[in-house]
């Protein structure tokens, strides 16, 4: 037979006697959407202030687009451009949409290492004691990383136009390409958050992320057409979500059929989010 202990608190003035104190967590109920948005905003602001205190953390966003576009255009542009039936300029038009598709995955790695580092410092333990939705902590991370992704995208497109890239599609197509890359990037971030929660150190997160990133990026249509690849590799690229994203972004920016690639990319993004987001939130609740 169990017993329940009730803690009495002094009665307010004019009341008949002492009243029972609320048990911890009692009366909190579910957190509503408006409160959840406020929590996400406050946590996102906290993450932005971290960047302000550590501006070096933006070096990857500022330099990576410049390094990638210069490296691939001027090292491989001549030969791959010729294989495309044109010149280095044709390869630039082919490459920039592919890099736009790739940028989300590279930026996403930072959210995994950031979550892991916050746990190591004890920050996440503090958050879990607060009356906030557990998902809001992780969503705030994604919101800030999407902001960093937009900065990297702007720099990439600026470099592309500076080097002579031609936008053969419409401005709306360009905006659609950026939005599609952001949607897929947000989905991928849930994978890296789960890695950050599962791995013991930030170095382990980075190492595992690179093992995942390299085959997906180079075994796709991001850097070169897939027609000259071996048959087994072409099969891999056909099912590689980055190929679908790169083809969709390329079609939106440069013209061409996009419907199949866009729907395939949205299906991948939805599937990844539906599977990985609940797993990441559950792992966040249980991690010590």
Instruction: Give the pTM.
Output: 0.82
Question: pLDDT digit string (tens) for 234-284?
Answer: 899 988 999 999 999 999 999 888 888 999 999 999 999 999 999 998 988
Interatomic CA distance for residues 248 and 262, integer angstroms: 5
- 233 neighbors 219 (Cβ within 8 angstroms): yes
Any domain includes 24: no
Any domain includes 8: no
Q: What pLDDT score does 25 carry?
A: 39
The token pair that represents 46 in the structure block: 């906290």
Any domain includes 255: yes
Percentage above 90 pLDDT, the chain: 35
Any domain includes 108: yes
Interatomic CA distance for residues 237 and 225, integer angstroms: 10
Mean pLDDT of the chain: 83
Any domain includes 175: yes
At residue 5, does pLDDT exceed 70? no
Cα–chain-centroid distance for residue 129? 26
The parent domain of residue 50 ranges over 33-286
Q: How confident is the model at residue 16 (pLDDT cuts 50, 70, 90)?
A: very low
Any domain includes 215: yes
Interatomic CA distance for residues 105 and 108, integer angstroms: 5
Question: pLDDT digit string (tens) for 136-177?
Answer: 888 888 999 999 999 999 999 999 999 999 888 889 999 999
- 42 neighbors 84 (Cβ within 8 angstroms): no
Any domain includes 256: yes
| The total number of structural domains that make up the chain | 1
Any domain includes 22: no
């Amino acid at each position: 037979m169990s017993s329940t202990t009730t803690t009495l608190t002094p009665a307010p003035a004019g009341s008949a006697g002492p009243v029972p104190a609320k048990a911890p967590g009692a009366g909190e109920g579910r957190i509503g959407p408006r409160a959840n948005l406020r929590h996400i905003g406050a946590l996102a602001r906290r993450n932005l202030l971290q960047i302000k205190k550590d501006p070096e953390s933006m070096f990857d966003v500022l330099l990576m687009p410049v390094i990638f576009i210069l490296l691939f255009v001027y090292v491989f542009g001549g030969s791959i451009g010729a294989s495309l039936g044109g010149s280095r300029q044709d390869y630039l038009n082919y490459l920039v949409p592919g890099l736009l598709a790739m940028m989300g995955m590279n930026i996403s790695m930072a959210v995994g290492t950031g979550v892991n580092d916050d746990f190591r410092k004890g920050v996440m333990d503090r958050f879990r004691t607060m009356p906030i939705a557990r998902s809001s902590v992780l969503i705030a991370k994604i919101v800030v990383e999407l902001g960093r992704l937009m900065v990297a995208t702007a720099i990439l497109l600026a470099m592309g136009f500076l080097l002579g890239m031609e936008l053969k599609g419409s401005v709306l197509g360009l905006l659609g390409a950026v939005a599609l890359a952001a949607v897929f990037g947000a989905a991928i971030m849930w994978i890296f958050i789960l890695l950050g929660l599962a791995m013991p150190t930030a170095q382990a997160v980075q190492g595992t992320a690179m093992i995942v990133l390299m085959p997906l990026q180079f075994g796709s249509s991001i850097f070169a057409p897939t027609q000259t690849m071996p048959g087994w590799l072409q099969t891999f690229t056909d099912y590689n979500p980055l190929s679908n994203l790169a083809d969709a972004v390329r079609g939106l920016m440069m013209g061409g059929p996009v419907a199949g690639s866009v729907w395939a990319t949205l299906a991948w993004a939805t599937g990844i989010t539906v599977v990985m987001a609940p797993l990441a939130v559950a792992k966040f609740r249980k991690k010590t």
